Structure 1
Amino acid sequence: MAQKDYSQLAQAIVAGVGGKENIDSLIHCITRLRFYLKDESKAKTEEIKALDGVINVQKASGQYQVVIGNQVTAVYDAVIAEIGTEFADEDETRPSRGGNNPPTTTHQQHLTPWGRVKEAFNQLIGVITGAMSPIVGILAAGGILKGVLAMLTMPQLGALLSAKSEAYIVLSAMGDSVFYFLPMLVGFTAAKKLKGDPVLTAVIGGVLVHPSLVALNGKSLLEIGSLNFPMVNYTYSIFPMILAAWLVAKLTKWVKSWLPGYLQIIFTPLIVIAVVSAITLYITGPAIIWLSNGLAFGIQFLLLKSGWLSGLLIGGLYQVLVIFGLHWGILPIIANDVAATGHSYLNAILSTTMVAQGAAVLAVAIKTRKTALKELSFAGAISAFCGVTEPAIYGVNLKFRRVFIAGLLGSAAGGFVSGLFHGNMFGFAGSWIGFASFLDPKHPADLSNLWIFIASSAVATIVPFIVTLVWGYNDQMTAGEAMAKPQKPGTAK
């Protein structure tokens, strides 16, 4: 089937955000175009929201976010074709137009201390988004493959595949590669966001996961008196590489400021690789991994101790973060959990929130007689059950606020069950499609977490589905920004 032409939508979006001259740069995540605009006041938000193909518009993390849904990659490509490929690369965008990297000096002078904190937080979230959004789908795919492999080796299914077979080894490499080489991937994507050298930064990531160094895990790399500099395991890690990417960007710029041009092609990477690798291996890397492990075990301790209460609260509130695009700040925490412990109680709770929003919009799809709404709702349900809730939330649930509330009630109930029984997750892919992530690859015969997943997801499906059918939606409701209210009889559209 030929791909739909999104050129007209792209033109309308570009015009709506204030034209090419108002755009600093553009990135995208799974469902959103994330614009960095010179002046957000020039954007015509209501006109953009009204476009066929746009689900909603949000402003968060210093970004102007246009929610597209599952076709975001195609729309992104069309927008880049409209404005120019240089806008996809922040290294080239602002200098090519004589712009300044935000925030400008004048802007900083007018910021209050609290404003500076918010500015720094927005920039941090922006870096995390830019680093993680290109690879989150690959992480989910790798997690699903690892879970499927665990199923194939289950004694209950007759151990269809031996863990020592060549086929298993090949498939395991496919599922594991994204996690093993995650520092290289994060280094590359973070460098693009931080206006550094992506390839050079990826090399630093390669140093951290080089087999000869991985083999030294736990051993001392250097001892100076009583000081010990240990080698730690960087596979699955994120935070050390984000800092390393920042160091590469700063050091590269500094080296080029004094090194003669005819020496830069060889000696710039030589100096940067040597210095940043040493700093990361001996100082920042072990320190960040130590703090990251503390964070992971601290979260694990709190979730285990609070049990049902944490499940209830986190399950009930998480999808509110999705509305504002702030859920990207949670992803590195989940990745850190898996890196430090091999599993994530937090992600098991978050999985139920995707199921619940999908179940709520599925109830709308079944109940409504409006053809267009039925099609949109079914599409949103399928997307949510595959782990992406934005099409359901922005397309239907928030327009009929009771539907969104029904989803929150369902995810709170599902999170309650998951927290009560300490549901655990060993991958990234959530919702119903992520069932394989609840199988422990190291203990495939243990089905306890799979049963907890089924129970919590069933609750997260049934509760919002019934609440939406009974209270959350009927065809006499009017979609809008406020709580959907029944119309007078005979006025349904």
Structure 2
Amino acid sequence: MEIKVYAPQDCTLKDLDKSVDQAFASKSMGDGFLLVLEQKEFYCPFEKAKVNLVWETKHAYILENQKLNLLIHCGIDSVNLKGKPFKTDLKTNDIVKKENKLFEVNLEKFKKNNIPNECPFIFSSDENKIEKINYKEGKYKKGDLICTIELVQKDKPEIIQVSSTEKLALVKSESKYNAVARKILENVGSFINFKQVYNCMTRVRFRIINKCLVNENKIKETKMVKGINWIGDELQIIVGAESANIKEEILRIKEEDSKKEVQVQAQKTTVGQKIMGGLSGIIGPNIRVLVASGILALIYSLLVQFKLAKDLGDGTNMQDADVLSVVLYAMTKVGILLVGLFFCITSTKYFGGNYLLGVFVGLILVSRFFMAKNGITNPDDYSVGKFVENSQYGSKGWFLFSIGDYPVVVKSYEGSVLPFVFAGFLAAKLEKLFKKFLTPSLEMVFGSGLVVITTILPVLFVFGPALSLLELGVTKVISGVEKIPYGFGPAILALVWQPLVITGLHVPINVAIGIPVLKGEPTLLYPANTLAMFAQIGMGIGIAIFTKNKNLRRVSIAAIPSGIFGITEPVIYGVNLPKIKPFLWACVAAFLVTMLSTNLDLKQDIPVGGPGIFYPFTNFTKVKDQILYFGMVCLVMGVAILFAFLFYKERFDETKYSTNIFRKVSRLLKLKYNDLSEENLKKVNELKLMFKENKKTFKEYEKYIQKVVNLNTKISNIEDSEANKKNKMYLKIQKIYNNPNVNIEKVNNLIVKYEEYNLENQKNLFKDKLINVENDYKELANRVKSIKDTTLTKCNEYIDWVYKNTDKKEFNEYKNGFWNAINSVEIGYGLEELMVLPNRAVINKEVLVRDSFKTKVSNMFAKKGK
């Protein structure tokens, strides 16, 4: 196929490598040629074409003719004139012909502003291959044929004929989850470095063998990853609501790295760390069951309130109910009362046992055979083996003995959690034990039965009663926290809840809070932790409103929807926490509003219902509580947005930050090395002056960084759009492959489109603009670099002087503080990470304080002696 290109005006044609702009001359933006303009009017260079893009400053255009794309870039660095030399009525999707004028350009303005009147023509094609661009350098008149483009059809990939039972894999193609999973696997040390992988609603969790093989920084840089957290040997990778998809993709990947022989040494972890990691892995998969149960409870509650279903209370009078009420009641209660069964299953699976044994054991522990009616109610009449009922503790079962006035009984564990977790653990361990000591034939016949017997009996007679006491203790503690005067207990929980989310400790604590609710006792604490969640969402909205950083605004806006639906990790890790203060102010907002909600006696009576915006409606059976809680949600988000307006800053002030570092070092010196104070003060004042003198320069530099970040954000948006489109194409091809009557020709065409699809032209326009910005600020950037190098050298020399005179090498850690101060702009806009300062006094502060106190006492007595 041949496409003809005509001169758009009287002009001179040159080779592209003669352009004054290196980006075009190097052909990094694509191949073509260069026109030197001589007239103001610019006409269509094709017989006919479609307008695919008109740049906002009217200096650049993309035309399409028979699948050939042409980028017309009028002038070099002309984008800086913000469209002033150009006039055009052209719009995207217009059809233009050779005789149609595209735009007018004022070449005098080019000359006045030292803009070269070069116009690069860059050609590309998504569907065809450009075989040759034929042209000759020289002068041409408007309408002359200046170039022919030879296009050939791209080679189609070989398609394997498949039967109805086979699946054809896409070589070179990866789904979004596949790419992320492979990146994560590569940086956790591959399959050889973890014992198990599982997920909760927001995190992919690995039980790591050797932490030294985990590349934390690379994991954090992986797309979709919001952050990481360690609990003992468990690595939690925070990805949001798509954690299950990534985990499933990891399980499907058979990576070659898993075959490499690498010596791996297991890391030592404490018992506490193992317990916390285990609880997280066991509890996480059950959250969906709890959420579903909460939503079903809401539906049933609403139908009861509107008299569309009958309130069946404790379920003892089912024979008088209509069938709809019975069905709804069963759907509501099973998930809540039998929640322990699910914990038993996940616990057995987590510890490496057969999950079906977990089902068996769990069903026995919730069996209705352990329930009866008309038990002995008078504690004085209790005797071993008799069925008793105790209204004070809500306990029914066959009496064993009493601890105080608490009856220890053999019973069904409906509504409990801990006995089931222990039962799953015990079943898994005993199964492995019997497999080890029994012959395969004996284990096949007797193994499972022995596991059930040796699990159930200890749980019913020993561990179950003991763990029931523990649950009772948890209930009492939670009740005590709720009763702290003026609502301080729940408010403090709200204050620390999101820090607990960061550590991963929130999962087992959340279950502990839910124990009383499962037993029918409403709590003030669930509203506290969910208000803490909405406070972080409010802060994210506030930052999106008030930030000047378009990349941060983009991240904020992307994170807010998942937060609204109950997944706060993206807004915490992507927006609030990196800035530190927004995260803390959101915690304060949660504290204040929770104190108000507690004093209004807002209690939740459904355990873990619908997430996010559904929470007010799925976790309270009373309409007045739903309305009140919805009001509290709006209030806490409003307070967080207000705090963002009052306290949010794009970056910390380098002068104030460095002054704080000087103050810390000087204070430590004064406590122990007072003789250095005078010389130290002189050095500090000189360095402070350096920071103050350069304050204006750093503000100008911040404007430059803002522009760079904002342009890179636009490029990232285009890349995301490109990736999303390719992912849709990939899924479409997969769907066709799975069709027994696969159309090979159709698949062939789709693969070609998939492999060649890109938005390089759009990205290159922004990259061009980025180059212009970098050129405009080149002098300032070089000046700032020089200032930073000089200042950091002087600050490091100061710390070296302190070290030399004190012999305390720990002072060197404060060099990080000066690096932070000097790079405050880059840190504020996410181009650099904040370096860690000492989290305790770098010199033994207790000794310094003690010595200082002794000195003061001695001086006091010396004065009295005089």
Assess, with a 3 A threshold, how the Cα gap between structure 1 residues 245 and 381 changes in structure 2: closer, same or farther: same
**CA displacement at 1:187 relative to structure 2:** 0.8
Q: Partner of 1:29 in structure 2?
A: 200
Whether 1:450 aligns to 2:626 is yes
Letter in 2 for 1:123: K
Letter in 2 for 1:456: M
Q: Partner of 1:90 in structure 2?
A: none
Whether 1:291 aligns to 2:448 is no
Secondary structure of the 1:399 match is: helix
**CA displacement at 1:206 relative to structure 2:** 0.2
Q: Partner of 1:436 in structure 2?
A: 617
- Within the candidate set 270, 294, 298, 1:143 is matched to 294
Q: Partner of 1:460 in structure 2?
A: 636
Whether 1:210 aligns to 2:367 is yes
Could you list the per-position Cα deviations for residues 225-252 of structure 1 after superposition, in whole angstroms to 9, with x for gaps in the alignment?
A: 9997624451221100111122212332
**Mapping of residues 170-185 of structure 1, within 5 Å:** 170-185=327-342
Whether 1:335 aligns to 2:335 is no
Could you list the per-position Cα deviations for residues 429-455 of structure 1 after superposition, in whole angstroms to 9, with x for gaps in the alignment?
A: 354321134423xxxxx4453344234
RMSD over equivalenced CA pairs, Å: 3.2
Assess, with a 3 A threshold, how the Cα gap between structure 1 residues 48 and 233 changes in structure 2: closer, same or farther: same
Secondary structure of the 1:488 match is: helix
Work out the CA distance in 2 between the residues paired with 1:217 and 1:386: 46
Assess, with a 3 A threshold, how the Cα gap between structure 1 residues 165 and 463 changes in structure 2: closer, same or farther: farther
Further displaced range: 225-234 or 144-153: 225-234
Work out the CA distance in 1 between the residues paired with 2:401 and 2:626: 50
Work out the CA distance in 1 between the residues paired with 2:465 and 2:522: 21
Q: Partner of 2:183 in structure 1?
A: 12
Whether 1:323 aligns to 2:474 is no
Assess, with a 3 A threshold, how the Cα gap between structure 1 residues 380 and 149 changes in structure 2: closer, same or farther: farther
Q: Partner of 2:855 in structure 1?
A: none
Work out the CA distance in 2 between the residues paired with 1:225 and 1:417: 44
Q: Partner of 1:113 in structure 2?
A: none
Q: Are 2:368 and 2:412, in contact at CA under 8 Å, matched by a contact in 1?
A: no
**CA displacement at 1:216 relative to structure 2:** 6.1
Q: Partner of 1:52 in structure 2?
A: 223
**CA displacement at 1:294 relative to structure 2:** 2.8
Q: Partner of 2:87 in structure 1?
A: none
Secondary structure of the 1:8 match is: helix
TM-score by length of 2: 0.49
Work out the CA distance in 1 between the residues paired with 2:567 and 2:373: 39
Q: Are 2:546 and 2:645, in contact at CA under 8 Å, matched by a contact in 1?
A: yes
- Within the candidate set 195, 199, 212, 2:352 is matched to 195
Could you list the per-position Cα deviations for residues 42-74 of structure 1 after superposition, in whole angstroms to 9, with x for gaps in the alignment?
A: 222222212222212222342222211122111
Q: Are 1:191 and 1:201, in contact at CA under 8 Å, matched by a contact in 2?
A: yes
Whether 1:273 aligns to 2:452 is yes
Assess, with a 3 A threshold, how the Cα gap between structure 1 residues 265 and 21 changes in structure 2: closer, same or farther: closer
Further displaced range: 162-171 or 198-207: 162-171
- Within the candidate set 389, 393, 400, 2:572 is matched to 393
Secondary structure of the 2:176 match is: coil
Whether 1:488 aligns to 2:697 is no
Secondary structure of the 1:405 match is: helix
Letter in 2 for 1:196: G
Work out the CA distance in 2 between the residues paired with 1:305 and 1:371: 44
Secondary structure of the 1:135 match is: helix
**CA displacement at 1:392 relative to structure 2:** 1.0
Could you list the per-position Cα deviations for residues 349-378 of structure 1 after superposition, in whole angstroms to 9, with x for gaps in the alignment?
A: 111111111111122233446655444323
- Within the candidate set 183, 195, 213, 1:42 is matched to 213
Which consecutive unaligned segments of at least 5 residues does structure 2 have?
1-173, 312-320, 376-386, 389-396, 658-697, 710-866
Work out the CA distance in 2 between the residues paired with 1:224 and 1:121: 31
Work out the CA distance in 2 between the residues paired with 1:172 and 1:83: 45
Work out the CA distance in 2 between the residues paired with 1:435 and 1:226: 41
Work out the CA distance in 2 between the residues paired with 1:234 and 1:348: 26
Work out the CA distance in 1 between the residues paired with 2:528 and 2:198: 29
Could you list the per-position Cα deviations for residues 374-426 of structure 1 after superposition, in whole angstroms to 9, with x for gaps in the alignment?
A: 44323422222322211110121112223212311221122212332332112
Could you list the per-position Cα deviations for residues 59-109 of structure 1 after superposition, in whole angstroms to 9, with x for gaps in the alignment?
A: 23422222111221112222222247xx9xxxxx9xx99989x56xxx5xx
Secondary structure of the 1:133 match is: helix
Assess, with a 3 A threshold, how the Cα gap between structure 1 residues 417 and 282 changes in structure 2: closer, same or farther: same
**Mapping of residues 295-310 of structure 1, within 5 Å:** 295-310=474-489
Could you list the per-position Cα deviations for residues 259-311 of structure 1 after superposition, in whole angstroms to 9, with x for gaps in the alignment?
A: 34323223222222223222222222123213312321331133123342112
Work out the CA distance in 1 between the residues paired with 2:466 and 2:197: 33
Secondary structure of the 1:146 match is: helix
Secondary structure of the 1:53 match is: coil
Q: Are 1:353 and 1:408, in contact at CA under 8 Å, matched by a contact in 2?
A: yes
Assess, with a 3 A threshold, how the Cα gap between structure 1 residues 33 and 287 changes in structure 2: closer, same or farther: same
Q: Which has the higher helix share?
A: 1
Which consecutive unaligned segments of at least 5 residues does structure 1 have?
88-92, 108-117, 441-445
Assess, with a 3 A threshold, how the Cα gap between structure 1 residues 371 and 138 changes in structure 2: closer, same or farther: farther
Assess, with a 3 A threshold, how the Cα gap between structure 1 residues 388 and 307 changes in structure 2: closer, same or farther: farther
TM-score by length of 1: 0.82
Assess, with a 3 A threshold, how the Cα gap between structure 1 residues 122 and 50 changes in structure 2: closer, same or farther: same
Could you list the per-position Cα deviations for residues 202-227 of structure 1 after superposition, in whole angstroms to 9, with x for gaps in the alignment?
A: 21110111222244697356567999
Secondary structure of the 2:469 match is: helix
Could you list the per-position Cα deviations for residues 448-468 of structure 1 after superposition, in whole angstroms to 9, with x for gaps in the alignment?
A: 533442343233111101111
Assess, with a 3 A threshold, how the Cα gap between structure 1 residues 16 and 216 changes in structure 2: closer, same or farther: farther
Q: Partner of 2:135 in structure 1?
A: none
Assess, with a 3 A threshold, how the Cα gap between structure 1 residues 278 and 22 changes in structure 2: closer, same or farther: closer
Work out the CA distance in 2 between the residues paired with 1:379 and 1:140: 24
Work out the CA distance in 2 between the residues paired with 1:260 and 1:216: 45
Q: Partner of 1:126 in structure 2?
A: 277
Assess, with a 3 A threshold, how the Cα gap between structure 1 residues 175 and 324 changes in structure 2: closer, same or farther: same
Letter in 2 for 1:460: V
**Mapping of residues 82-97 of structure 1, within 5 Å:** 82-83=253-254
Q: Are 1:314 and 1:415, in contact at CA under 8 Å, matched by a contact in 2?
A: no
Q: Which has the higher strand share?
A: 2
Q: Partner of 1:407 in structure 2?
A: 586
Assess, with a 3 A threshold, how the Cα gap between structure 1 residues 372 and 4 changes in structure 2: closer, same or farther: farther
Q: Are 2:296 and 2:332, in contact at CA under 8 Å, matched by a contact in 1?
A: yes
Q: Are 1:196 and 1:248, in contact at CA under 8 Å, matched by a contact in 2?
A: yes
Q: Are 1:292 and 1:340, in contact at CA under 8 Å, matched by a contact in 2?
A: no
Secondary structure of the 1:234 match is: coil
Q: Are 1:413 and 1:459, in contact at CA under 8 Å, matched by a contact in 2?
A: no
> What is the aligned-residue identity percentage?
21
Count of aligned pairs: 455
Work out the CA distance in 2 between the residues paired with 1:224 and 1:59: 42
Q: Partner of 1:110 in structure 2?
A: none
Secondary structure of the 1:18 match is: coil
Assess, with a 3 A threshold, how the Cα gap between structure 1 residues 438 and 37 changes in structure 2: closer, same or farther: closer
Secondary structure of the 1:330 match is: helix
**Mapping of residues 55-66 of structure 1, within 5 Å:** 55-66=226-237
